[in-house]
Chains A and B, each alone.
Chain A
Amino acid sequence: MSWLEKLPLKKKLTLVILLTCSVVLLLACGVLAVYQSFDFRRTLVRDSTVLADVIGKNTRAALAFQDENSAQQALLTLQSEPNVSAACLYDAQGNQFANYVQSGINVPLPSHPSTDGHVFESGHLGLFHAVILNDKRIGTIYLQTDLKRMDERLRVFAGVGLLVLLGSLVVAILLATPLQKPISGPILGLAETVRTIAERRDYNVRIPIQGGNETGLLTDAFNKLLAGIEERDKALRGEITERKNAEGKVQSQLARLELLHTITRSISERLDLQSIFQVVIRTLEDNLPLDLICICLYDPNANVLTVKGVGTSVVALEKELGLTREAQIPIDENGLSQCVRGRLVYESNVTQVKFPFPQRLAGAGLRSFVAAPLLVESKVFGALIAARKESESFSSGECEFLKQLSGHVALAAHQAQLYEALQQAYDDLRQTQQAVMQQERLKALGQMASGIAHDINNAISPVALYTESLLEKEPNLSARAKDYLNTIQHAIEDVSHTVARMREFYRQREQQLTLTPVNLNQMIQQVIDLSRARWSDMPQQRGIFIKVETDLDPALPQVSGVESEIREALVNLVFNAVDAMPNGGTLTLRTKISEKAVRLALVEVSDTGIGMEEDVRKRCLEPFFTTKGERGTGLGLAMVYGTVRRHNADIEIESAPGKGTTLRIIFPVPATPAAVPGKDTAPFIVPSRLRILVVDDDPLLIKSLRDTLETDGHVIVTAGGGQDGIHAFRTAFESKEPFAVVITDLGMPYVDGRQVASAIKGISPSTPIIMLTGWGQRLVAEGDIPPHVNQVLNKPPKLRELREALAQCVASTRS
């Protein structure tokens, strides 16, 4: 039946109608035929029965009266009935009484009657019927009816039926076509609509309502279904659109995250602020359509933002905006103030904001901007400003992105700052460490030097004393001897100075400067003399010639200062100048007066040497900065600078590579010249015949002191150690021959000068004590003048100083 299922609905319907019609008609015809046949037979039986009855009635008299002829005559009347092919009459006993056979037919007649009733035999109907007379059976009539006629009638009927069937079919075909339309039409319409919908996916289509029957209901239901589908389709589309939007958002969010990641990664690799800002700006410009991007740092004191980085796009807008690097943006009341308070500011349309900065942006054709604060530990230190020419152009996602980015940037910037600070601190620490190391080294060196100085001082003390004493007291000295002694004295002084300079390595400067008037012109001469070895002798050994010139202003006023320090500074400058001229050149020492607002005395040391680079020039005053490698300590100019600062002076350095260097020390000129202490001139009475105890562990020194002091007329008792000294003093004190003055060395084994001093003061508090020490200057410098000591004298002692000290001691004792 698959072919039937594949048949189009129209044909199927037609076929169904035709089949139904045909079957029904055939059925009807069949039933009719059967009925007809049945009816015909019944009619035949009835007719035959009636005929038999009539014949019976007509023949019963003949039968009753046994008149065969009459019976035969009566049967002959059947000739008028062509259907009756034969008839036979039997008497009560069942014997044939009369019979009739249609001419031309040869049929056997039953010899005896059967029971009443009819029987259809081949081609005919046999009927036995009783002949009744006065309620009494007197015989039987047999009728044989031919069925040919019935068959004929049936054939005719079948033919007519067939014709009717064919006619009906034709009519059915004619009727079926229009009749199936109301059924197939809507369904086909439905199918067509469904096909259209399925093809075009247009759920907007509706099938016109067909009426109130099932098709109508179907259509209605289908329309409802469509409406439902359309609704769901719409909802689905809506959902899809929503999803797509969401997906787009997620995509852009991802892109931004990626961007954020990229930026974060690249800025985390950088440690200086400017490069971080540049990376952020460049990446943002490349990846976000921005018309303006800049990063500013915030100065909370001035309440301004300083532009530290701008995008390239700013160049086009520069005229209108003026947002170049280092440009300053004042904080607006509303716009940027929120930002510097730590909030993200988004202005969707700057034309509507009447504040200077938004108006400035609006003037440049920008319409919307975002200012994201750079926040670290809830402190704003800058802002990231992005702007676009379209209003309402920043999505919340972008705002959030900028906010997060600014957080990262802030963190990175903060880290960079921290790193810088750390680096600075580290550098400082390293420098400090180096300085400390240097100082430690110097300290050790100084201690060593101090020991050496002490020993030298001790060693040369007798030389100095004897030389001075000889020159002073020996009247018969030849001129030659005098000259030698003078030379010895100078040499001793030089040694003393050298030792003193050695001390400079370690000694701390006096806190309170003892300022004296200094004649700089004189000092320059001294400096030239002192440094002669360096600028003259040593270069000449290498075949180099350095010319020294002086250009001194004779009107130069005296300045107030510490002579030795200034001299030392100048010597340092000369040394540097010489070092700067490895191939020789001219060294010029110059003094002049600057008459500006205040009077200034200038000392210049110029060379024609190699000069300095700018960065060297900037750093040359730092301690331990040296260009001389291992030869230099890096302390020379630092010391100079220290000296200059202590004298309230200034230093200027003019230098260029290959052009030589000029160092200028500018001293303020005091209004009144400092009083020259009358050291040399102060008259003092040299006491004589004093009883003096000299305590020292150095027998040479004791001897020289005894000799010189005894020459002055004093009585000298010596002790070779601290304990001996104390003992001698006590013995003398107890024997009523006390000493007027005690001169003691400081450094002695077992009992040192301090103990000696305290012990003597314990015995005789009024006895003045002069301490003579190779450490003398150091004691003074450290403020470590031991108690009980009245005077401290440095070794090598000068006779004059010794006498002065004695005079002062005696004077104070007397007073």
Chain B
Amino acid sequence: MAMPLKKSITCWLCILMLAMQTGSARAQSREYQVKAAFLFNFAQFVDWPAVTFADTNSPFCIGILGNDPFGQALDETVQGETIDNHKIIIKRSQTLDDLKDCQMIFVSQSEKGHITKILSDLDSKPILTVSEIEGFAQHGGGIDFYLAGTKVRFEINPGVAHSDGLKISAQLLSLGKIVQSAREDK
């Protein structure tokens, strides 16, 4: 039963191309899935001062400032999870003010231009800021993601976090790339 070789190669190529296309899309989706998981993980390796919660039943709020790159990934990640017995809610907003009662704010790529303003607004507030904007930590942000190869990595500016009253776990610190705030250099 001899199948024509040409026909078969063509068939395999078609399948390969399709796979590559889908793979690219899936790779992107996976990146955010990881990032969403990382967000949740950060919340687990950082202690917030008690005052950040109105009461014990107050939810742990993750705010997404700007365009939400996670899609459903974040929601799925935190689905049913708690941080120190606080329910996790996700707030999405384009304005920082909406997110001021959040304990963690992901600054989207879309807010790249407003970093300084955002950071100054949030200065001294016990809110962990996370962004995928390059140099965000150096700019006074808390944590930023970066890709090392295919792997998602992050930078941590422990000074910012510390000055905001947050306690970042040493494990987290040992995993992330420690950066110094530029302002503090001044």
Q: Which residues of A contact B (CB under 8 A)?
A: 58, 60-62, 64-67, 70, 133-134, 136
**Shortest distance in angstroms between B140's beta carbon and chain A's nearest beta carbon?**
23
With A66-B151, A133-B44 as contacts: A61 and B172 at CB distance below 8 Å:
yes
* B174 close to A (CB within 8 Å): yes
Separation of A67 and B83 alpha carbons in the complex (Å): 22
Q: Lowest 9 CB-CB distances: which A-B pairs, in order?
A: A61-B171, A64-B41, A134-B44, A67-B175, A65-B175, A70-B175, A61-B175, A61-B172, A65-B41
Given the known interface contacts A64-B41, A65-B41, the answer about A134 and B83 at a Cβ–Cβ threshold of 8 Å is: yes
User: 17 new A-B pairs (CB below 8 Å) besides A133-B44, A134-B44?
Assistant: A61-B45, A61-B169, A61-B172, A61-B175, A62-B171, A62-B175, A64-B37, A64-B41, A64-B45, A65-B41, A65-B154, A65-B172, A65-B175, A66-B151, A67-B175, A133-B41, A136-B81
CB distance from A67 to the nearest CB of B (A): 5
A484 to chain B, nearest CB (A): 225
A60 to B172, CA, bound (A): 10
Bits for B119-155, please: 1 = Cβ < 8 Å to A, else 0: 0000000000000000000000000000000010010
Among residues of B, the one whose C-beta sits closest to the C-beta of A138 is: B41
The smallest C-beta distance from A76 to any residue of chain B, in angstroms, reads 13
A58 touches which of B37, B83, B171 (Cβ 8 Å): B171
Task: Give A68's nearest chain B residue, CB to CB.
Answer: B151
B175 CB to nearest A CB, Å: 5
- Chain B residue numbers with a CB within 8 Å of A58 are 171
User: Known interface pairs A61-B169, A134-B81. Does A70 touch B174 (Cβ–Cβ under 8 Å)?
Assistant: yes
B38 contacts chain A at the CB level, 8 A cutoff: yes
Pick the contact of A61: B81, B82, B151, B174 (CB < 8 A).
B174
Q: Which residues of B contact A64 (CB under 8 A)?
A: 37, 41, 44-45
Bitwise, B17-48 to A at CB < 8 A (1) or not (0) is 00000000000000000100110010011000
Which residues of the other chain, A, contact B37 by a CB distance below 8 angstroms?
Answer: 64
In Å, the complex CA distance between A62 and B172 comes to 8
Interchain CB contact under 8 A, B38 and A65: yes
- Min Cβ gap A75→B in Å is 14
Q: In the bound complex, how far is the Cα of B154 from the Cα of A60, in angstroms?
A: 16
Q: Chain B contact residues (Cβ within 8 angstroms of A): what range?
A: 10 to 19
Of B37, B41, B45, B83, the most chain A CB neighbours within 10 A belong to B41
Chain B residues within an 8 Å CB radius of A70: 174-175
Hey, which chain A residues are within 8 Å of B38, CB to CB? 65
Nearest A residue (CB) for B84: A134
Supply 21 A–B pairs (Cβ within 8 Å), ascending by A: A58-B171, A60-B171, A61-B41, A61-B169, A61-B171, A61-B175, A62-B171, A62-B175, A64-B41, A64-B44, A65-B38, A65-B41, A65-B154, A65-B175, A66-B34, A67-B175, A70-B174, A70-B175, A134-B44, A134-B81, A134-B83
Complex CA–CA separation, A136 to B77 (angstroms): 13
Across the interface, which residues of A come within 8 angstroms of B82, CB to CB? Answer: 134
Q: How far is the CB of B36 from chain A (nearest CB, A)?
A: 13
- Bound Cα distance from A64 to B41, whole angstroms: 7
B43, chain A: closest CB distance, angstroms: 9
Complex contacts, B171 vs chain A, CB 8 Å: 58, 60-62
Bound: A163/B41 CA distance, A: 58
A61 cross-chain contacts in B, Cβ below 8 A: 41, 45, 169, 171-172, 174-175
- In the assembled complex, the Cα of A134 lies from the Cα of B81 at a distance in Å of 9
Q: How far is the CA of A395 from the CA of B32 in the complex (A)?
A: 147
Q: Whole-angstrom distance from the CB of A320 to the nearest CB of chain B?
A: 151
Q: What chain A residues lie within 8 Å of B154 (beta carbons)?
A: 65
Inter-chain CA distance A66–B82, complex, in Å, is: 21
Complex interface: chain B residues within 8 A of A60 (CB): 171
Residue in B38, B154, B174 with the greatest tally of chain A CB atoms within 10 Å: B174
Q: Mark B50-94, 1 if CB is under 8 A from A, else 0.
A: 000000000000000000000000000000011100000000000
Alpha-carbon distance A58/B175, docked complex (angstroms): 11
- In angstroms, how far is the closest chain B Cβ from the Cβ of A537? 207
Docked CA distance A749–B37 (Å): 213
Residue of B nearest to A73 (CB): B174
CB distance from A569 to the nearest CB of B (A): 195
Q: Mark B145-178, 1 if CB is under 8 A from A, else 0.
A: 0000001001000000000000001011011000
Chain B residues whose CB sits within 8 angstroms of the CB of A133 once the complex forms: 41, 44
Q: Which partner residue on chain B sits nearest A69 by CB separation? A: B175
User: Bound state CA distance, A133 and B40, in angstroms?
Assistant: 11
Q: Considering the chains assembled together, what is the distance between the CA atoms of A126 and B169 in angstroms? A: 30
Q: Chain B residues with Cβ under 8 A from A136's Cβ?
A: 81
Cα-based distance from A62 to B170 in the complex (angstroms): 11
Contacts of B172 in A (CB 8 A): 61, 65
Residue of B nearest to A65 (CB): B175
Q: How far is the CA of A286 from the CA of B123 in the complex (A)?
A: 162
Q: Complex formed: what's the CA distance from A61 to B34 in Å?
A: 14
- Chain B nearest CB from A415 CB (Å) reads 151
Closest to B41 in A: A64
- How many Å from the CB of B178 to the closest CB on chain A? 14
Chain B residue with minimal CB distance to A64? Answer: B41
- Give the distance to chain B from A259, nearest Cβ to Cβ, in Å: 136
User: Cβ of A134: which chain B residues have Cβ within 8 Å of it?
Assistant: 44, 81-83
* Min CB gap A137→B, angstroms: 13
Q: How far is the CA of A62 from the CA of B175 in the complex (A)?
A: 7
Least Cβ distance of A71 to chain B in Å? 10
Which A residues touch B44, using CB under 8 A?
Answer: 64, 133-134
CB distance from A133 to the nearest CB of B (A): 6
List the A side residues contacting B83 at CB < 8 Å: 134
A276 to B70, CA, bound (A): 169
Which A residues are CB-close (under 8 A) to B174? 61, 70
**Which A residues are CB-close (under 8 A) to B34?**
66
Bound complex: CA A67 to CA B41 (Å): 13
CA distance A66 to B175 in the complex (A): 10
Q: What's the nearest-Cβ distance from chain B to residue A12, in Å?
A: 72
A62: chain B residues within 8 A (beta carbon): 171, 175
How far is it, in angstroms, between the C-alpha of A65 and the C-alpha of B36 when the chains are bound? Answer: 11
CB-CB nearest in chain A for B173: A61
In the bound complex, residues from chain A placing their C-beta under 8 Å from that of B45 are 61, 64
- A65 proximity list for chain B (CB < 8 A): 38, 41, 154, 172, 175
Closest residue to A62 on the B side, CB-wise?
A: B175
Closest to A133 in B: B44
Q: Which B residue sits closest to A134, measured CB to CB?
A: B44
For the complex, what is the distance from the CA of A181 to the CA of B171, rounded to whole Å? Answer: 73
B171 to chain A, nearest CB (A): 3
